[in-house]
Each structure stands twice: as C-alpha cells, then as structure tokens.
Amino acid sequence: MRLGAALRQAQDRLEREGIPDPWLEAQVLFSEVLGRTRAQLLAQPERALAPGEIQGLAQLLHRRLRREPTAYILGRREFYGRDFSVDPRVLIPRPETELLVEGALAQARLIAEEPLLAEVGTGSGAIAITLALELPQARVFALDISTAALEVARSNCRRYGVEERVELLQGDLLSPLPQPVHMVIANLPYIPQATRLPPEVSHEPSLALCGGPDGLALFRAFLAQAGPWLLPGGCILLEIGAGQAEAVMELVAGYFPQAERRLLPDLAGLPRVVEIDLN
C-alpha cells in the first residue's frame, strides 16, 4: 500500500467515527509510526509501506477509533512548548490551562525574588514543572491526592531535571503542605457530575474531572482551608469552567472578602482563571 492512499483511508475511517480533525489525526498517527514529520509524509505519497509499518499503523488507528485520546496513544502531550509524559493515570494538559501558568508567572515575579509556590492537583506535573523551569529561583510544592498521578509527575520531573526544586507531596488538597507559600495554583476538578462528556474524556481519571453535583465541591473545600497556607501578600490562581465565573467569584468573596479578585479571559474571551490577591 502507498502512503498517500493509506493516509486517505485512515482519514475516512476517523471521519466516519465522528472524530474531529480526521486529516490531522491521521497525519499525527502516521508520523508516530513512521518517524517522519507531517510535512515529510505529505511529500512522499507514493512511498510503499512495509508490512511492519502497516501493522503498526493499524494498531494505533484501532486505538484511536475506540476513542482513546491521541495523547495517551502517543504517551505525551505538549504544554507551554514542552512535551510531558501522560497516560491514563493523569489528566491530559489542555492548551487553555497555559493561561493559568501565564498568570502565575506574572504574579510570582512581583511577589518575591525566590517565590514559594504550591500547585494543587498536579497530575502530570506539567504546571509545576513549567513554573520551576520558567522561574529558576522558585521552589514548587506539587500536591496530588493520587499516588499514581505522582508517579507520572516524578518521571516528568526527572526528564526536566527539576527534582531538587519540585517537591511532590501526596494528600488531599493543601493538607500535605509543610509550610505557607507565596502562591497557590490550582486546576481543580470542576465538571458537574451529570455532564455528558466526549468519549475521549471517559479514558481520563474521573478523580481529576468530577467536581460534584454543581462542579464546585472542591472549590468550596479548597477555599475553606487556603487562607492559613498563604504568606502575607500572597496570591491564589484558580482555573474555572465555562459558566462558573459568577458562582466562583461569589465563593471567593465569602472566604476572602478583603481580597482583590480578577477574572482572566482565555483566547476566546471567556473567563478562565480567577486571581485572588491577598494584599
């Protein structure tokens, strides 16, 4: 079979299953098996595929047609310009979460020369590791209730050489913290439990997704305990879901009535991050 024909067949099968961007998905899977860039694939439509390559392509395509996320098939996901190892033990980092990192970087540079940061629900460690790499003087506590998730985060810490500055701690919300910090960053589970999700999301850990009946159960628990863990002038940044801005801002006002509160919009102009400054 020729490469160009195989690509088109894969695209057709992905499209029939309702998978978004089937042409791009086909190219990504073929690039993984053949060890070629997408541009190289498209430049060699007449290249004959070897039997082993055909078998490898069929295996990956079968997994994607079962709606397994591409990031899990590849074993990695790009976040803030770096690849991070991911598998079903952790949530797949989303592009919109990069706004959380950008807000944290801006605040950390104002708060202290050697900031102490804590990330709640670190998962793959993508946020904590990114902050450590972008802020060489920072120390980061990366917290997660899941020991399995922390295993993935540990492998990513080793990959980027930040084991000495990113301390992985297991426990519920902020309970594992050994000391107060300048900033707490959290991408808490915020999906209401009755929400109908895309098939791919069913492969991700429910512990990192479901936020209770209204999606805000973890926000209430987190905000109730956050105050004592922040140093004077500290800051909290929270990612929120679509339509949750008003409810979360009301919660924040109840727990931190004197704090400055801001909403940061994503590229679509939708509120995505809540910033709480305890001046």
Q: Which residue has the tokens 């998730």?
A: 149
Residue 50 DSSP symbol: P
The amino acid sitting at 99 is L
157 part of a folded domain: yes
Query: CATH number for the domain including 27?
Result: 1.10.8.10
Q: What is the mean pLDDT of residues 54-68?
A: 96
Buried b (16+ CB within 10 A) or exposed e, 71-91: bbbbebbebbeeebbbbebbb
What integer pLDDT is reported at residue 1 of this predicted model?
Answer: 85
Are 239 and 158 part of one and the same domain?
yes
72 part of a folded domain: no
| Alpha-carbon span 17 to 117, nearest angstrom | 43
Domain range holding 50?
3-66
Q: What is the mean pLDDT of residues 38-65?
A: 94
37 part of a folded domain: yes
Is residue 279 predicted with pLDDT exceeding 90? no
What are 144-197's pLDDT values in tens digits?
999 999 999 999 999 999 999 999 999 999 999 999 999 999 999 999 988 888
Q: What is the mean pLDDT of residues 249-271?
A: 94
74 part of a folded domain: no
Query: CATH number for the domain including 199?
Result: 3.40.50.150
Provide CB contacts within 8 A for 275, sequence distance 6+. Answer: 103, 107, 235, 236, 237, 261, 262, 263, 264
Are 95 and 217 part of one and the same domain?
yes
Task: Point out the domain boundary residue: 37, 66, 95.
Answer: 66
Are 143 and 261 part of one and the same domain?
yes
Residue 186 DSSP symbol: E
What integer pLDDT is reported at residue 205 of this predicted model?
Answer: 93
Are 98 and 23 part of one and the same domain?
no
Number of domains in the chain: 2
What are 9-23's pLDDT values in tens digits?
999 999 999 999 999
What are 71-99's pLDDT values in tens digits?
999 999 999 999 999 999 999 999 999 99
What integer pLDDT is reported at residue 215 of this predicted model?
Answer: 92
What are 207-236's pLDDT values in tens digits?
898 899 999 999 999 999 999 999 999 999
What integer pLDDT is reported at residue 193 of this predicted model?
Answer: 87
Are 125 and 198 part of one and the same domain?
yes
Task: Point out the domain boundary residue: 31, 66, 101.
Answer: 66
Are 103 and 26 part of one and the same domain?
no
Are 256 and 156 part of one and the same domain?
yes
Are 183 and 236 part of one and the same domain?
yes
Strands (E), the chain: 76-79, 82-85, 116-120, 139-144, 166-170, 181-186, 230-239, 260-265, 271-277
- What angle do helix axes 51-65 and 3-16 make, rounded to 10 degrees? 10
91 part of a folded domain: yes
